[in-house]
């Protein structure tokens, strides 16, 4: 568990955070991957920081499932072409909640954080280079992939937080001596 995630949670909410993360970490470590675990921890911390956090009412396992489902939904977890992948029914079962409960908690979380599929804020870091949404910018009214823009535009887009990171630049040719 990341200490920085836990430290960002108000002291009065840390027991909720710990309970959520123990459940999401168990499922992610056994059935998904480190990216999913990291994103679930970040989302649990964000939920615990909400003023009047919704996790204080209802069952922790329901919220933990909603967190994992929301992250899975953003990242197309149920798509069999993805690795890892899992049917949402199987995810509900791993958390011991009904489909209706898991889907309802996920929908509430997605609404609270205005999540959308391929949302760069909640997308798996190891797959970010494949996420066209994260790299789409508008420059002089033209929609483009920031990775195809001149370097100075990439640098400005990264500085403004419009793209997830500064893409690696083309290899520079050695200068003649």
Q: Quick one: 44 and 106 in the same domain?
A: yes
Q: d(Cα 6, Cα 14) in Å, to the nearest integer?
A: 7
Question: H helices within 87-162, ranges in order?
Answer: 88-95, 99-112, 132-135, 151-159
Residue 119 and residue 137 share a domain: no
Tokens found for residue 101: 């409960």
Domain annotation covers residue 166: no
**Per the domain annotation, does 164 fall within a domain?**
no
Q: Which of 83, 110, 126 is the last residue of a domain?
A: 126
Q: What's the structural domain count of the chain?
A: 2
- Residues 23, 97: one domain? yes
| pLDDT (tens digit per residue) in 92-137 | 999 999 999 999 999 999 999 999 999 999 999 999 989 888 999 9
Do 68 and 118 belong to one domain?
yes
- Per-residue pLDDT of 26-62, as tens digits, reads 999 999 999 999 999 999 999 999 999 999 999 999 9
Q: Give residue 47's domain range.
A: 3-126
pTM of the prediction?
0.86
Q: Per the structure block, which two tokens stand in for 144?
A: 């483009």
Q: How far apart are alpha carbons 165 and 54 in whole angstroms?
A: 32
Task: With beta carbons less than 8 A apart as the criterion, state whether 65 and 105 touch.
Answer: yes
**Residue 90 maps to which CATH number?**
1.10.472
What's the gap between Cα 37 and its chain centre? 9
DSSP for residue 73: H
Q: 147 in a domain, yes or no?
A: yes
Two structure tokens written together for 103: 């889907």
Least confident of 57-61, 71-75, 101-105, 169-173: 169-173
């Amino acid at each position: 568990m990341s200490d920085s995630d836990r430290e960002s949670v108000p002291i009065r909410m840390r027991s909720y955070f710990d309970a959520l993360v123990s459940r999401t970490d168990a499922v992610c470590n056994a059935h998904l991957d480190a990216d999913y675990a990291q994103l679930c921890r970040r989302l649990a911390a964000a939920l615990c920081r909400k003023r009047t956090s919704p996790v204080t009412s209802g069952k922790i396992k329901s919220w933990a499932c909603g967190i994992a489902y929301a992250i899975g939904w953003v990242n197309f977890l149920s798509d069999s072409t993805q690795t890892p992948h899992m049917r949402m029914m199987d995810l509900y079962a791993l958390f011991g909640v009904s489909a209706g409960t898991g889907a309802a908690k996920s929908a509430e979380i997605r609404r609270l954080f205005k999540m959308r599929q391929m949302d760069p804020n909640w997308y798996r870091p190891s797959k970010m280079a494949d996420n066209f949404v994260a790299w789409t910018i508008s420059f002089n009214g033209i929609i483009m992939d920031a990775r195809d823009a001149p370097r100075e535009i990439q640098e400005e887009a990264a500085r403004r937080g419009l793209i997830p990171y500064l893409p690696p630049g083309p290899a520079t040719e050695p200068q003649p001596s």
